Amino acid sequence: MAVSYRECRRNHAASIGRYAYDGCGEFLKAGKDGTKEAFHCAACGCHRSFHRKELSLSVASIHRRRRHHDHEHKNYKAKTKRTKITEEQKSKMRRFADKLGWKPQRHDEEEVGKFCGEVGITRKMFKVWLNNNRRRPVPVRVPEKCRAASVVGVKNLLAAEE
């Protein structure tokens, strides 16, 4: 990647409240490399930072950047893949975790491996799920009959209070 400095962008009339560019078309070093003068333009006397910086990319560097970008993009997609666990798997895992006391020990490894094979998940998935759900309360499932009866019961209580 080659760097070149083009026209000067310094406003030479800023001190009097105007705009005036000197028209210097390209940066020319005022001295040899490694000296302070190498950073000043021989044509206008400005520092190199006032000149427009232009990068010229070779074809090889463009391909290298594109390959690097594609590689990063593929890795990002792989990292964002999420695991789907069914309700049936979750209920089996809850029962098994209760049986283990939510903290599997080393002597339980064989049993955990067997369980994961039966349920259709990996050991790592089970351990991650276990860590994420260890402190969550177990959702209470109310059957539809009970739900309807409780609504009627609440309505009766409200009617009795009036």
- The CA distance from 155 to 140, in Å, is 22
Burial (CB count within 10 angstroms: exposed 0-12, middle 13-18, buried 19+), residue 126: buried
Per-residue model confidence (pLDDT) at position 78: 59
CB 121 within 8 A of CB 86: no
Q: Which two tokens stand for residue 76?
A: 């990002």
Grade residue 28 by pLDDT with cuts at 50, 70 and 90.
Answer: confident
Q: Which two tokens stand for residue 113?
A: 């491996």
Q: What mean pLDDT is predicted for residues 67-83?
A: 63
Q: Which two tokens stand for residue 89?
A: 């798997």
Q: Answer yes or no: is pLDDT of 36 > 70.
A: yes
Mean pLDDT taken over the chain: 77
Q: Which domains does the chain have, with CATH numbers?
A: 2-58 (no CATH), 87-133 (1.10.10.60)
More confident residue, 64 or 147: 64
CB 31 within 8 A of CB 39: no
More confident residue, 9 or 47: 47
Q: Answer yes or no: is pLDDT of 153 > 80.
A: no
